[in-house]
């Protein structure tokens, strides 16, 4: 089971269709022993605003 999300540093940010900012990044789902088990897209701006609510 993945227990952390790691932003892929080698990827370029894209414009998010929700907030319009170029903060949409590829995020890797990583297990505690360092194996990548999947990827998803994560907008760091939308994610931050969601946590502040």
Q: How far apart are CA 32 and CA 4, in angstroms?
A: 8
What is the number of structural domains in the chain? 1
Query: pLDDT by residue (tens digit) across 2-52?
Result: 589 999 989 999 999 999 999 999 999 999 999 999 999 999 898 766 666
Helices (H), 1-53: 44-52
Q: How far apart are CA 36 and CA 16, in angstroms?
A: 24
Q: pTM (2 decimals)?
A: 0.71
pLDDT attached to residue 47 = 75
pLDDT attached to residue 7 = 93
Q: How far apart are CA 52 and CA 44, in angstroms?
A: 12
Domain of 31 in residue numbering reads as 4-52
Q: Which residue has the higher pLDDT, 4 or 53?
A: 4
**Residue count of the chain:** 53
pLDDT attached to residue 3 = 86
């Amino acid at each position: 089971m993945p227990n952390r999300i790691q932003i892929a540093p080698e990827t370029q940010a894209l414009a998010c269709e929700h907030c319009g900012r170029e903060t949409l990044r590829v995020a890797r789902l990583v297990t505690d022993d360092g194996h990548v088990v999947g990827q998803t897209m994560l907008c760091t701006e939308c994610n931050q605003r969601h946590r502040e609510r």
